[in-house]
């Protein structure tokens, strides 16, 4: 690929690998910075040596990649709060007792049924200067309004470290928060909060104020709430208030991407602004004025949208396109993409771990690289057919490019995505242009019904179309088993196949076949590993007991009738089955004894009865039985005691203390998470 011959391409790759290495290895800043300085000195020396001797530049190139690697690692470390000495994570007592925290609200995120949630920046802990982001959970109160961005608060409470998943193969919310540099959560209520008299007036404050003004003015114009929430997602990327049912419809229809502002949205805005500025002459001054207005408009839109990663990426990329056009140079779109990636990650390396960021760039790359090949398959003669064929080829190129990554993250595939895009893209272009115009006017407290009502009706129609397509659930492929090795193999196969299709040759065909063989071997290896595994798992379900026994790809479920009846819709069980490439073969009620891999397991329920001569290896306590734990442990002498999440916490404390006295390991599932025997 010629794009890899562009020096910045290889530098960006080295830079990205450096970010990943620093994130996962967590090296010391002094070591990485020292290596960066040394590599820069070697780079300067190798440059002058190569320049004066006219020797091969290969060594200079290698050193350049090493510099870019350490530059990426340094950027990741310097932008990560964890490495700041003032960060609360380094305070030993921070998680041990209540503290008085001085925080500033940075962003309001999606609420839960019981709490309003905010990302807050810590300024002080007990009058001692500190720093870091924390997830603030405030119990909902119908009498008070949510806090605004920039609000200064004094909050008293105990912070809790992010916990790993409670059950196997669940979404790791702890890792998700860590990638956003949030290492703890605080639960409190309005009575424990004192609101300060001043605001932190930064770019986030003014962005939030502008959004609030727009939303308030639209609400005053009697804009329907359901359609307004979708409009805010389409135009500003604010999905917090969209109902779960509508989000699910967009997901099933393969249109969830339009609710996150991306290159598609910014492209419509850029075309609209360019159209409005057409009367300005293309003189030197006129062209400069156009560029200034375009960049100002794009930046203003990013500000309104809250500087979300997808918005920043798209605005940065299209800004470079606009600058290249102003300079009257042919813009190589690959170079533009690479420059935008490099600059975004240089200032905000954490964006690399954002799923939307990854999907957007991959989709954009495949549209640019693969879509022309698809479009060349057929040349429609009429303009409407050419338009529809263009939409279809763009949709297929983007979907093929993002397919392995989206299946890896979401384990499902919307089969009617091409119909969705064919129908909604023409409508979306109209809604975007009209929506931006309405939002701009709303910022000035002017919402004409002549514009707001067509926008409301258009979104209503869009929601109906999406709902209709999503209703054909037989076309939605769910619960697809997939892991990172299969994902990498899939991309290897897709890339080599496209390269061969573009310019077939015998050598390229051999590479394609090797890629296909690699995919097959990875799949066989995954299945073989799954078939040769056996494990017995106690899940962490509040007030319930659920146990699985897995032998290879076959799983037996042990639980009460209430769970057995709804097993097929149990999200915890589904995640476990999908991740382990297994299926549910049998459902049984829980018995008082179980045997697994030479372990005799006594399951003690609320009846609290057990044989005196059973001598179990493990005792599983469920449903809060009233037992004399000391006498039972002395009599049965188990090797381990496990208490699942169906037990009262007060009883578990007593059981734990008794086990510690007799030096018997105790595992509280509700506290430590699931328990596994393998």
Any idea what DSSP says for residue 126? T
The verdict on 427 and 298 lying in the same domain is yes
**Which of 200, 227, 259 is the last residue in one of the domains?**
200
Residue 205 lies in a domain: no
Domain membership of residue 104 (yes or no) is yes
- Tell whether 450 and 524 lie within a shared domain: no
Rounded to whole angstroms, how far apart are CA atoms 282 and 426? Answer: 30
Q: Are residues 119 and 259 in the same domain?
A: no
| pLDDT tens string 340-397 | 888 888 888 988 888 888 888 888 889 888 999 999 888 888 888 888 888 889 888 9
More confident: 145 or 160: 160
d(Cα 519, Cα 508) in Å, to the nearest integer? 17
What would the pLDDT profile of 616-645 be if each residue is shown by its tens digit?
999 999 999 988 999 999 899 999 999 999
Task: Work out the percent of the chain whose per-residue pLDDT is above 90.
Answer: 36
Q: Which of 25-29, 59-63, 434-438 has the lowest mean pLDDT?
A: 59-63
Measured CA to CA, the distance from residue 595 to residue 600 in angstroms comes to: 5
Asked if 464 and 249 touch (Cβ cutoff 8 Å), the reply is no
- Report if residue 472 sits inside a domain: yes
- pLDDT of the residue at 56: 58
Do 495 and 454 share a domain, yes or no?
no
What pLDDT is recorded for position 52?
64
State mean pLDDT over 514-541. Answer: 93
What average pLDDT does this structure show over 547-557? 93
Instruction: Decide if 83 is inside a domain.
Output: no
Where is the domain boundary, 477, 510, 543?
477
Give pLDDT, residue 652. Answer: 92
pLDDT in tens, 185-217: 999 888 888 888 888 888 888 888 888 888 889
Structure tokens, 570:
């149990």
Q: Classify residue 254: in a domain, yes or no.
A: yes
**Residue 580 domain flag:** yes
317 and 178 within one domain: no
CB count, 10 Å around CB of 505?
A: 10
Per-residue three-class SS string for 285-338: HHHHHHHHHHHHHHHHHHHHCCCCHHHHHHHHHHHHHHHHHHCCCCCCHHHHHH
Same domain, 268 and 378: yes
Structure tokens at 658: 């008794």
- Can you tell me the mean pLDDT for 118-147? 87
| pLDDT attached to residue 430 | 86
Show Cβ contacts of residue 328 under 8 Å, excluding neighbours closer than 6 positions.
none
Statement to judge: residues 100 and 185 lie in one domain: yes
Alpha carbon separation from 108 to 94, 104, 105 (Å, rounded): 24, 11, 8
Instruction: CATH number of the domain at 101, please.
Output: 2.40.50
Q: Which of the pair, 309 or 166, is modelled with greater confidence?
A: 166
More confident residue, 232 or 236: 232
Q: Which of 54, 78, 102 is the last residue of a domain?
A: 78
- Output the average pLDDT for the chain: 87
So what's the pLDDT on residue 499? 92
> How much is the pTM?
0.86
Given the DSSP bridges, would you call strands 593-596 and 599-604 parallel, antiparallel or unpaired? Answer: antiparallel
For the stretch 102-115, pLDDT in tens is: 999 998 888 888 88
Residue at token pair 């394609």? 512
Structural domain including 542 reads 533-678
pLDDT score, position 464? 93
| H helix or E strand, kind and range, residue 235 | helix 225-236
| Res 48 pLDDT > 70 | yes
Confidence of residue 329 (pLDDT cuts 50, 70, 90): low
366 and 273 belong to one structural domain? yes
DSSP state of 473: G
Give the per-residue pLDDT at 309. Answer: 66
Supply the pLDDT for residue 143.
Answer: 59
| Element housing 61 (H / E) | helix 58-78
Domain match, 446 and 578 both: no
Number of domains in the chain: 5
Per residue in 483-496, pLDDT (tens digit) is: 999 999 999 999 99
d(CA 206, CA 211): 9
Instruction: Determine which of 119-123, 142-146, 196-200 has the lowest per-residue pLDDT on average.
Output: 142-146
Give me the pLDDT at residue 167, please: 93
Give residue for tokens 């025997």: 677
Backbone angles phi, psi at 211, to 5 degrees: -65, -45
**Segment holding 104, helix H or strand E:** strand 99-109
pLDDT at 331: 59
Question: 313-327, 338-352, 412-426, 660-674 — which is least confidently predicted?
Answer: 313-327
Q: What pLDDT was estimated at residue 5?
A: 58
In a domain, 289, yes or no: yes
* pLDDT score of 108: 87
The answer to whether residues 105 and 150 touch, using CB atoms and an 8 Å cutoff, is: yes
Residue 623 sits in a domain whose CATH number is 3.60.15.10
- pLDDT for res 548: 95
Q: Convert 593-610 into a string of H (helix), E (strand) and C (coil).
A: EEEECCEEEEEECCCCCC
Q: Which of 572, 550, 554, 567 is nearest to 645 (CA)?
A: 572
* HEC assignment per residue over 375-404: HCCCCCCCHHHHHHHHHHHHHHHHHHHHHH
One domain for residues 498 and 563: no
Q: What is the pLDDT of residue 76?
A: 92
> Above 80 in pLDDT, residue 311?
no
**Is residue 347 domain-shared with residue 266, that is, in the same domain?**
yes
Tell me which long-range contacts 273-278 makes (C-beta under 8 A, separation of at least 24).
273/297, 273/298
Residue 4 clears pLDDT 70, i.e. is over it: no
Same domain? For 492 and 379 the reply is no
Please determine, for residue 573, whether its predicted confidence score (pLDDT) is greater than 80.
Answer: yes
Distance, in Å, from the CA atom of 163 to the CA atom of 152, rounded to the nearest integer, reads 27
Among the listed ranges 319-328, 447-456, 541-550, 602-611, which one has the minimum average pLDDT value? 319-328
Average pLDDT of the segment spanning 251-272? 79
Q: Mean pLDDT over residues 22-27, rounded? A: 90
Q: Decide if 522 is inside a domain.
A: yes
């Amino acid at each position: 690929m010629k794009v890899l011959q562009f020096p910045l391409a290889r530098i960006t790759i080295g830079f990205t690998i450096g970010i990943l290495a620093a994130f996962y290895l967590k090296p010391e800043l002094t070591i990485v910075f020292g290596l960066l300085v040394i590599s820069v000195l070697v780079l300067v020396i190798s440059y002058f040596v190569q320049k004066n001797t006219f020797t091969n530049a290969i060594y200079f190139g290698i050193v350049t990649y090493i510099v870019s690697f350490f530059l990426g690692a340094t950027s990741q470390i310097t932008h990560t709060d964890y490495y700041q000495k003032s960060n609360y994570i380094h305070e030993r007592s921070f998680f041990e007792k209540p503290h008085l925290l001085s925080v500033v609200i940075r962003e309001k995120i999606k609420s839960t049924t019981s709490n309003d949630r905010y990302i807050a920046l810590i300024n002080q802990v007990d009058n001692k200067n500190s720093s870091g982001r924390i997830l603030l959970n405030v119990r909902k109160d119908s009498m008070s309004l949510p806090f605004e961005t920039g609000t200064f608060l004094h909050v008293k409470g105990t912070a809790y470290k992010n916990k790993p998943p409670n059950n196997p193969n669940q979404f790791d919310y702890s890792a998700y928060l860590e990638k956003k540099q949030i290492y703890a959560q605080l639960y409190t209520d309005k009575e424990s909060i004192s609101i300060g008299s001043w605001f932190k007036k930064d770019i986030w404050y003014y962005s939030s104020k502008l959004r609030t003004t727009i939303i308030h003015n639209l609400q005053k114009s009697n804009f329907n709430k359901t359609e307004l929430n979708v409009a805010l997602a389409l135009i500003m990327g604010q999905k917090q208030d969209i109902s779960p049912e509508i989000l699910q419809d967009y997901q099933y229809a393969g249109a969830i991407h339009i609710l996150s502002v991306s290159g598609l949205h910014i492209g419509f805005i850029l075309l609209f602004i360019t159209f409005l500025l057409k009367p300005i002459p293309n003189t030197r001054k006129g062209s400069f004025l156009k560029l200034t207005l375009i960049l100002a408009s794009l930046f203003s839109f990013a500000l309104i949208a809250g500087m979300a990663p997808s918005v920043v990426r798209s605005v940065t990329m299209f800004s470079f396109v606009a600058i290249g056009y102003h300079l009257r140079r042919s813009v190589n779109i690959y170079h533009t993409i690479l420059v935008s990636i490099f600059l975004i990650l240089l200032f905000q390396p954490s964006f690399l771990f954002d799923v939307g960021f990854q999907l957007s760039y991959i989709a954009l790359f495949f549209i640019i690289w693969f879509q022309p090949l698809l479009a060349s398959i057929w040349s429609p003669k009429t303009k409407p057919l050419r338009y529809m064929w263009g939409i279809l080829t763009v949709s297929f190129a983007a979907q093929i490019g993002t397919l392995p990554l989206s299946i890896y993250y979401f384990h499902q595939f919307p089969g009617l995505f091409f119909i969705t895009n064919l129908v909604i893209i023409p409508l979306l272009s109209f809604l975007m242009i009209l929506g931006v115009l309405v939002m701009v006017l709303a910022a000035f407290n002017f919402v004409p019904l002549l514009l707001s009502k067509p926008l409301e009706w258009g979104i209503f129609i869009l929601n109906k179309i999406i709902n209709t397509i999503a209703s054909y659930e037989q076309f939605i492929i769910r619960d697809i088993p997939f892991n990172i090795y299969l994902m990498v193999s899939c991309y290897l196969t897709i890339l080599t196949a496209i390269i061969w299709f573009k310019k077939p040759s015998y050598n390229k065909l051999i590479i394609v076949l090797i890629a296909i063989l690699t995919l097959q071997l990875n799949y066989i290896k995954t299945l073989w590993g799954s078939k040769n595994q056996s494990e017995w798992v106690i899940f962490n379900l509040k007030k319930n007991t659920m146990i699985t026994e897995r032998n290879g790809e076959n799983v037996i479920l042990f639980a009460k009738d209430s769970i057995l009846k709804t097993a097929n819709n149990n999200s915890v069980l589904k995640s476990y089955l999908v991740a382990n490439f297994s299926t549910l073969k049998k459902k049984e009620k829980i018995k008082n004894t179980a045997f697994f891999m030479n372990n005799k397991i006594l399951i003690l329920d609320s009846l609290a009865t057990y044989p005196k001569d059973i001598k179990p290896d493990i005792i599983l306590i469920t449903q809060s039985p009233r037992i004399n734990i000391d006498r039972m442990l002395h009599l049965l002498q188990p090797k381990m005691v496990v208490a699942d999440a169906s037990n009262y916490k007060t009883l578990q404390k007593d059981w734990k203390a008794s086990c510690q006295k007799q030096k018997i390991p105790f595992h509280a599932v509700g506290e430590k998470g699931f328990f596994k025997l393998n």
